[in-house]
């Protein structure tokens, strides 16, 4: 069974304090790994797609990396507006078309 | 351009009633997905459309749930004889062609079954 585990469940940082969020996955043939940001009361907002081990993508203060077993979302010098729940999802191989999501990491950046 | 839109934003219904939730995907996107997000749970895949066809209905939790898509655009998710455990946020997403492409989500419909 495809499985995605995100850690930590919650993280509180001071503004400017860099850290990493982890997404471990077990999937039969990975076709893609996706990171989303979700603000309260809103739908997930797309951040990154990673397709193969060793791939990295960056956007502003965020950088996503991928290995064969996990992905990291690195947040450098975060600001309060980076506070949100960060979701990781995988698209398994074979005929499945729906994403399998982790439960997310709730990130709070304190000024 | 316009993103995925969903209506209504919120829906309160009584147990046993039927509800219809609507999704308007991004213009030109052929793939459309429905997910459910319950309190304390991750997003759960329900159904996938490619055009008007639904090749993957594997996530529908029971036969009370059904969905259709017309004209390769608007989709409706119908829940019959609602139960309290159906209370959740129902999210719709679309992608240009599906099959590994990025899915873009709408704001969701918050359903409360009393």
> Torsion-angle region of residue B64: left (phi > 0), alpha (psi -120 to 50) or beta?
alpha
- Comparison of pLDDT for B72 and A49, the residue scoring more: A49
Q: Do B55 and A97 touch (CB under 8 A)?
A: yes
Preferred mutation among B31, B54, B93, B103 to probe A, highest tally of A CBs within 10 A: B103
B14 and chain A in contact, CB less than 8 A: no
pLDDT cut 70: percent of chain B above it: 99
Q: Do A97 and B41 touch (CB under 8 A)?
A: no
Q: Where are the beta strands (DSSP E) in B1-114?
A: 5-7, 10-13, 19-24, 31-37, 43-50, 53-56, 65-69, 75-79, 88-95, 104-105, 109-113
Closest by Cβ to A97, choosing from B56, B91, B108: B56
Confirm if A107 and A83 have CB atoms less than 8 A apart: yes
- Cβ–Cβ under 8 Å, residues B107 and B10: no
Using pLDDT thresholds of 50, 70 and 90, give the confidence band for residue A28. Answer: confident
Q: What is the pLDDT of residue B1?
A: 58
Q: Express each pLDDT in B27-59 by its tens digit.
A: 999 999 999 999 878 899 999 999 999 888 889
B88 forms beta bridges with: B111
Q: What is the pLDDT of residue B99?
A: 75
Please tell me whether residue B110 adopts helix, strand or coil conformation. strand
pLDDT of residue B100: 78
pLDDT number for residue A97: 80
- pLDDT at position B73 is 93
| Mean pLDDT of all residues belonging to chain B | 94
Mean pLDDT of A27-32: 89
B31 Cβ neighbours under 8 A, 6+ residues apart: A97, B48, B49, B50, B94, B95, B96, B97, B98, B99, B101, B103
| Cα–Cα distance measured from residue B106 to residue A21, given in angstroms and rounded to the nearest whole number | 25
- List the Cα angle A92/A98/A103 in 5-degree steps: 85
Question: pLDDT tens, B98-112?
Answer: 777 899 999 999 999
Give the pLDDT of residue A93.
Answer: 82
Query: Is the per-residue pLDDT at A72 higher than 70?
Result: yes
User: Of all residues in chain A, what percent carry a pLDDT higher than 90?
Assistant: 87
Statement: residue A35 has pLDDT above 80: yes
The 10 Å Cβ neighbour count of residue B3 is 14
Asked if pLDDT for residue A95 goes beyond 80, the answer is no
Arithmetic mean of pLDDT, B82-95: 97
Q: Does A42 touch chain B (CB under 8 A)?
A: yes
A44 shares contact with chain B (CB less than 8 Å) = yes
How many whole angstroms separate alpha carbon A65 and alpha carbon A54? 7
């Amino acid at each position: 069974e495809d499985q995605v585990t995100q850690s930590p469940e919650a993280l509180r940082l001071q503004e400017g304090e860099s850290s990493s969020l982890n997404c471990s996955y077990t999937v039969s043939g990975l076709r893609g790994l996706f990171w989303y940001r979700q603000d309260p009361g809103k739908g997930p907002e797309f951040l990154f797609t990673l397709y193969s081990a060793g791939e990295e993508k960056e956007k502003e203060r965020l950088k996503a990396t991928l290995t064969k077993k996990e992905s990291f979302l690195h947040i450098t010098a975060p600001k309060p507006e980076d506070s949100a729940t960060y979701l990781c999802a995988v698209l398994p191989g074979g005929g499945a078309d729906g994403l399998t999501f982790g439960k997310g990491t709730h990130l709070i950046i304190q000024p | 351009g316009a993103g995925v839109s969903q209506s209504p934003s919120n829906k309160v219904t009584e147990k046993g009633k039927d509800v219809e939730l609507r999704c308007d995907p991004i213009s030109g996107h052929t793939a459309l997905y429905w997910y459910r997000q319950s309190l304390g749970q991750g997003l759960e895949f329900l159904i996938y459309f490619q055009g008007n066809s639904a090749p993957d209905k594997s996530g529908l939790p029971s036969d009370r749930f059904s969905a259709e898509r017309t004209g390769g655009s608007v989709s409706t998710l119908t829940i019959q004889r609602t139960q309290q455990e159906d209370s959740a946020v129902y999210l719709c997403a679309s992608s240009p062609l599906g099959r590994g492409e990025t899915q873009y989500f709408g704001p969701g419909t918050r359903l409360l079954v009393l």
